[in-house]
Structures are given as structure tokens and as C-alpha cells.
Amino acid sequence: MSTTQSAHREPTHMLHIRIPDEARDAIAEALSVLGNPELDPDRALTLAHKAFATLDIDRLQDILDFGRHADTPGVALVENLPQDDKLPPTPNNGGPCEGKPTFVAEGVLLGLSSLLGEPTSFVTEKNGRLIHDIVPTESGATTQTSEGSDVFLNFHNDIVHDESGRYDLSNPDFLVLNCLRKDREGNALTSYADARDIVHALSDEVVDILRSASFQLNAPGGYTRAYADGKEVLSVPVPLLGGPEESPEIYVAANGVKRLTPEADHAFSELQRVCREPEVGQVVALTPGSALLVNNRKGVHSRSRFDAHFDGADRWLQRTYTRRSLWAIRSQLVPGSRRTHR
């Protein structure tokens, strides 16, 4: 345990927000008129924002504070959200779903995202779509990607390739994950480990190494497949932890972290180990009608192994990558687009 910190420090906790039935029904009604949001994302976001802005002031402020302050939890579970009356089969090719008759789930995703910031997209992630269908695929079953199922997806952040060589700059501040369908066996668990709790659980020596530029992150699979035949595209040497002691930021790649020294290798193993400890990893089984708000800077997340059958009844989440502001990444905008980036 870190000796520089109080041994009596309280761990961070998952914020729980339950939407009352009446509010759920009012939001569902407002979202019933929503068309396919990819056709006019700004209009869809405005409509969904209006729907969620009708929440009572306490719950609304809880979500807004989650998005805007350093001292709030890194993960929040929102429950009793509206759902689509009829859900088509789960796509088995990484999405999107063709012919979905209503867009309530998409509206929920965009409404929650709009309270945190601006949904953004990248051409190498889900073909630049704003709404990511997170579904297991046969070809990706054992990969360290969101298409995996038959493997533990290690604790990571969602990062984005950047020409500067830093992959933790243009990436999302938040992920929003909305559950449309759970896995049949109920084995899929999403975990979140807050860097404040990680640091507390590690020795000072290991934290010092994690704060040194002894690591290189591999770019996400979508990028390495598109531009490097799947070979490594490494960042410049970076630390995995940065920022002030009371509110650290963490950056870990899912697609591989190269350790530059034996000490860095040990520190990385320690990091992954403590994230799995019950006093650090906060675990949730997402079910339809619940969504997870994930701060992608305050902590890392993982997903357990689960069964996939590729028969239309598999687990199905929808996800946005959300930034507080799009301004800093404007030079990466695809010409003619307002939200899609290279």
C-alpha cells in the first residue's frame, strides 16, 4: 500500500442513478419520434438532450457533476432507462443493425452522452460511425478488442492513434455503454478500476515506475489493421500514470503495452493484478435498460470472458466516444464532417 497516503482513505465508488418510472416513460415518449441519428447527428443529439434535460434536478446534476468535476466518481450506472419495444437480432458482424425500426436505445445513448460532452467518431473505429454496436464476432472472439468474448479483455483505456505519437490526447474523455441485450448465461461482467484506488493499492516504487516514460502503447486494432497490416504502431515512450496525486490520469492500451525495462514489466503486471482485486475493481453486469458512464481518464475498464453463439441473441451494447469539447481535435476532422476524425 502506498505509504504517502492515508491508510484510512475511502475507496471511490460507482455512482448509482435510478430513473423513476414516470421520467423513464416521458423520455421514451420524447425519443419515439427519433429517426436514424447517423443521418443528422446534431439534430438527434439536440432532441435527445431535451428529453434527458426533463429529469429532476438532483439526478440531472448528478450526471452533470459526474461529467465536469475532478473529484466525482469515475464510473456511474444509470438504471431503468427506456428501451425499444421491439429489438431486432443482435448483429454478428460488428454492427450496425440494418432495419432497426425505432431508435430509443440510440436516443438514450445520445441523451446521456450529451450531458457529458460531444460524441465523436474516428474513421478507424467502427467505420467512423457515432454509435458503436459492441457485439461479439466469430472472427474477433479471442482478440483484445470489444468484438471479443472468449477471452478476458484486460484493463485498458480506449485510446486513439495520433500523429504526435501520444495516443492519450485525441481519445474520448468518456465512453457511454448502453445495454440492449445481455448475454444469455449472464457471465459478461464489465469492471472499472479508478486510478485513485489503483495508486493506493500499489507500492510507491511501482507507482514511480508507472509515472516514468518506460512504456509504449500500441495503436488500436482498427488503426493497425487499416494502416500497418496489423503490425504494431507504437506511441512514443510514455508513462501510464500522470497528473496530480489526488486526481491521477491513466493511459493503458488494450492492443498491447510494450514495457521498456524489466521494472516496467513488473509494474505493468502489478497494475493489472490490483485492478482485479475486489477493493479496486468495481464490477457490474449490464442489463437492458441500464447504461454505464465511464470516465476514460480517471480509470481503466475491462470485460470478463462470456459465451457468444452468433445466433442473433448475443450480448449487444451501444457505445459512444464522448469528449468534453471537439475543439482540440479539429485538425483531425475529415473534410466535410463535423464529428468524424482521422
Ligand X SMILES: O=C(O)CCC(=O)C(=O)O
Q: How far is CA 303 from CA 155, 164, 201, 307, in A?
A: 8, 29, 21, 12
| Residue 147 in contact with Fe ion, rule: CB under 5 A | no
The verdict on whether omega for the bond into residue 96 sits within 30 degrees of 0, i.e. cis, is yes
Stretch that binds Fe ion, among 71-79, 154-162, 280-288, 322-330 (CB under 5 A): 154-162
Under the binding rule (CB under 6 A), the answer on residue 47 touching ligand X is no
Strand partners, 320: 176
- Residues numbered 190 to 219 that lie near Fe ion (CB under 5 A) are none
Give the separation between CA 110 and CA 118, rounded to whole angstroms: 9
Locate 67 and state its grid cell: 461529467
Burial class of residue 335 in the structure, from the number of CB atoms within 10 Å of its CB (0-12 exposed, 13-18 middle, 19+ buried): exposed
- Between residue 108 and residue 167, which ones bind ligand X under the rule CB under 6 A? 134, 146, 153, 158
Question: Nearest Cα to 106, choosing from 39, 195, 25?
Answer: 39
| C-beta closer to ligand X: residue 15 or 285 | 285
Closest residue by beta carbon to Fe ion:
158
Binding mask 273-312 for ligand X (x = CB under 6 A): ----------------------------x-x---------
Nearer to ligand X, 302 or 340 (CB): 302
Instruction: Pick one of Fe ion, ligand X, none as the site partner of residue 153 (Cβ within 5 to 8 A by kind).
Output: ligand X
Question: Least CB distance from residue 145 to ligand X, whole Å?
Answer: 8
Q: Which one, 158 or 183, has the nearer CB to Fe ion?
A: 158
Q: 103 — phi, psi (to 5°)? A: -125, 40
Q: Does 314 bind ligand X (CB under 6 A)?
A: no
Provide the minimum distance between the beta carbon of 64 and Fe ion in the complex, in angstroms, as a whole number.
Answer: 24
Residue closer to Fe ion, measured from CB, 31 or 179: 179
Binding residue for Fe ion, selected from 125, 158, 197, 314, defined by CB under 5 A: 158
At closest approach, how far in Å is the CB of 222 from Fe ion?
Answer: 12
99: left (phi over 0), alpha (psi -120 to 50) or beta: left
Residue nearest to ligand X (CB): 190
Judged by beta carbon distances under 5 to 8 A according to partner kind, the member of ligand X, Fe ion, none in contact with residue 55 is none
Q: Which does 319 bind (CB under 5 to 8 A by kind): Fe ion, ligand X, none?
A: ligand X
Which three-class secondary structure state does DSSP give residue 34? coil
Under rule CB under 5 A, residue 173 binds Fe ion: no
**Strand intervals (E) in 204-298:** 215-217, 241-242, 249-250, 257-259, 281-284, 291-295
Residues in the interface with ligand X (CB under 6 A) total 11
27 contacts ligand X (rule: CB under 6 A): no
> Which long-range contacts (C-beta less than 8 Å, at least 24 apart) are formed by 18-25?
18/78, 18/79, 18/80, 19/55, 19/59, 19/78, 19/79, 19/80, 19/81, 20/56, 20/80, 21/80, 23/54, 23/55, 23/56, 23/59, 24/80, 24/81, 24/82, 25/82
Q: Which of 319, 339, 341, 342 binds ligand X (CB under 6 A)?
A: 319
Three-class DSSP category at 324? coil
Q: What are the percentages of helix, strand and coil residues in the chain, rounded to 5? A: 30, 20, 50
Helices and strands, counts by H and E, the chain: 8, 16
Q: Does 250 bind ligand X (CB under 6 A)?
A: no
Is residue 301 annotated as involved in ligand binding? yes
Secondary structure letter of residue 308 according to DSSP: -
298's contact among ligand X, Fe ion, none, with CB below 5 to 8 A by partner kind, is none
Question: Toward ligand X, which CB reaches closer, 114 or 154?
Answer: 154
Footprint of ligand X (CB under 6 A):
134, 146, 153, 158, 175, 177, 190, 301, 303, 317, 319
Footprint of Fe ion (CB under 5 A):
158
